[in-house]
Structure 1
Amino acid sequence: MKIGAYVINLDRSIERWRSLIAQTAQFGMQFVRVVGIDGAAIPAQQRTDIDERAFLRQNGRLMLDGEYGCYRSHLKALSTFLESDDDAAIIIEDDVEVPPELIERAEAILAAVPEAELVKLLNHRSRWFRLRATSRLGDRIGRCLHGPQGSAACYLVTRTGAEKLLRNIRVMSYPLDIALERGWQNGVNVFTVKDNIARLSPTTSKMTEIGTRADYRKRKFRGPRRAITHLMRALEYTRRIRYAL
């Protein structure tokens, strides 16, 4: 199986690209650079494929410029992958530190769970993990009853998985990290590793391109406006548990 590695990198983030290339030069890994889309540079009236009402209802806040750019950048990376002859791809954001055995571990994961179409390799949390299989290199693969797990910074995806994502999540109604995990809606056979294979860089990840906690708080609805959001999250939690089981 041929697995490619695709890195999303904004034109202005030159140092991030240099840092990532410097890491991988030590172990000879080849990266394909995908030029990221800067959401802040696209006026709201020119943005496409957004279900704004659904986003407000489901997330209980206004969308960040960086979230839009992140979403479109990942769909671009998936399209770039499908234009290649790779059998699978690892999609990476440029604030990630990758281990030298990344490709080998990805191969072992797909061998252990051949039905997988997307495997998250980095998460913020992996609570209530249910094991499906352990790869020959020791990575535990399964699903989590609790979520969202957070982060779309590094994940493994097959051609069928990428095709389904481009078809079923083209219109944005959730942030990208949540949209990826919703296998019950997007039709993708989604799994995760119990322990992160990659990790966020302690330096570059602090300089977020999407938004700070303060940015999220400013856009968050208060009081009765969030009632429908709480209800929808409860329904999503039920669906997540059913999917994980």
Structure 2
Amino acid sequence: MSNLATYLINLDRATERLLSAETKINRAGLQYERITAVDGSKLTRQQKGQYNEALAYKHFGRSLSGGEIGCYLSHVNAVDLFLKTDMEYGLVLEDDIKLDCDFNSVLQELIEFLNSHKESGYDIVNLCNEPKKSYNQLHTIAVTNGNFDLCRAHFFPVRTTAILWTRQGAEKFRAACHPIHSPVDQFLKDWCIENDNGLCFLNPPVTHTDAESQIDFISQHSKATRGTRATNYFIRKQLRSLRNNRTAQKSCRAYEKSLE
């Protein structure tokens, strides 16, 4: 795919993960560039300065761990590298990926769909998690071993194991991503719900391995790597959830009305 740049985020010490991910990516017929993940246990003063703990407590209800900050910065670095190219699309993979055997075919048709719907302004595709609510099916990709249903995800799912960026989406993300105040997958969820700019699959072509993470960077969903919670954490979490639900439902209704 001549208009696609692919990046694999991997910690220097996670050599086994690199070999595993490399095998899967090569099997899918993709050329990629490895990006050294930001090590959350070795953050520099400059890297720590990009994180706003007060805003994290206010918006997210808790502080972030070093691993979560490192994961966020790693994805920012991947987007920066993509934007330095002249490619139209950027595929960012974490090193715990499991790719469907038809991944290359799915990716090619997905890019063809995006090329033919540029007027819709889609910014990002979550390739690794399905929508839980508030979505509209857009297109079915038929491949050898089944179908993959692409949808507009008004309620964008979490996880960043595999993300496809459009150039305009990457530019928008880069303009909005600082200061850091939530894990990157939660930021993308909130950002996409607010802007109604994300897609995903009902049956994702990428999943993640079940192996225990070796690194803080990947273990952003582990309780052991979470920061300290505010006393009103659960209230803030519930309010954020209610706000996101209302926004997603409103976007879904507006989209369905536009089809009438």
TM surpasses 0.5: yes
Partner of 1:183: 192
The within-5 A match list for 1:1-245 is 2-42=3-43, 47-113=48-114, 114=117, 115=120, 116-123=122-129, 125-137=130-142, 138-144=147-153, 149-181=157-189, 182-185=191-194, 187=195, 189-203=197-211, 206-207=213-214, 209=216, 210-211=219-220, 213-215=222-224, 219-222=228-231, 224=232, 226-245=234-253
CA deviation after TM superposition for structure 1 residue 62, in Å: 1.9
CA deviation after TM superposition for structure 1 residue 226, in Å: 4.3
SS in structure 1 of the partner of residue 59 of structure 2: helix
CA deviation after TM superposition for structure 1 residue 227, in Å: 3.2
CA distance in 2, matches of 1:28, 1:225: 44
SS in structure 2 of the partner of residue 139 of structure 1: strand
SS in structure 1 of the partner of residue 136 of structure 2: strand
Q: TM-score, normalised by structure 1?
A: 0.85
CA deviation after TM superposition for structure 1 residue 61, in Å: 1.8
CA distance 1:189–1:218, change in 2 (3 Å) = closer
SS in structure 1 of the partner of residue 230 of structure 2: coil
Q: Which shows bigger deviation, 93-102 or 157-166?
A: 93-102
Q: Which runs of 5+ in 2 are unaligned?
A: 254-260
Q: Is the 8 A contact 1:118 1:158 kept in 2?
A: yes
Q: Root-mean-square deviation (CA), in Å?
A: 2.6
CA deviation after TM superposition for structure 1 residue 79, in Å: 0.7
Letter of the aligned partner of 1:15 in structure 2? E
CA deviation after TM superposition for structure 1 residue 162, in Å: 0.5
CA deviation after TM superposition for structure 1 residue 24, in Å: 3.1
Q: Which shows bigger deviation, 81-90 or 159-168?
A: 81-90
CA distance in 1, matches of 2:182, 2:221: 18
Q: TM-score, normalised by structure 2?
A: 0.80
CA distance in 2, matches of 1:240, 1:188: 8
CA distance 1:173–1:240, change in 2 (3 Å) = farther
CA distance 1:188–1:92, change in 2 (3 Å) = farther
Q: Is the 8 A contact 1:183 1:243 kept in 2?
A: no
Q: Which shows bigger deviation, 170-179 or 157-166?
A: 170-179
CA distance in 2, matches of 1:165, 1:40: 25
Q: Is the 8 A contact 2:14 2:214 kept in 1?
A: no
CA distance in 2, matches of 1:184, 1:6: 25
Q: Is the 8 A contact 1:142 1:193 kept in 2?
A: yes
Please give the per-residue CA displacement for 1:25-71, whole angstroms capped at 9, x wherever unaligned. Answer: 33432121111111220167851222322211222222111110000
CA distance in 1, matches of 2:57, 2:205: 33
Partner of 2:258: none
CA distance in 1, matches of 2:124, 2:220: 26
CA distance in 2, matches of 1:75, 1:169: 8
Q: Which shows bigger deviation, 45-54 or 60-69?
A: 45-54
Letter of the aligned partner of 1:141 in structure 2? L
Moved over 6 A (4+): none
For these two proteins, the number of residue pairs brought into alignment is 240
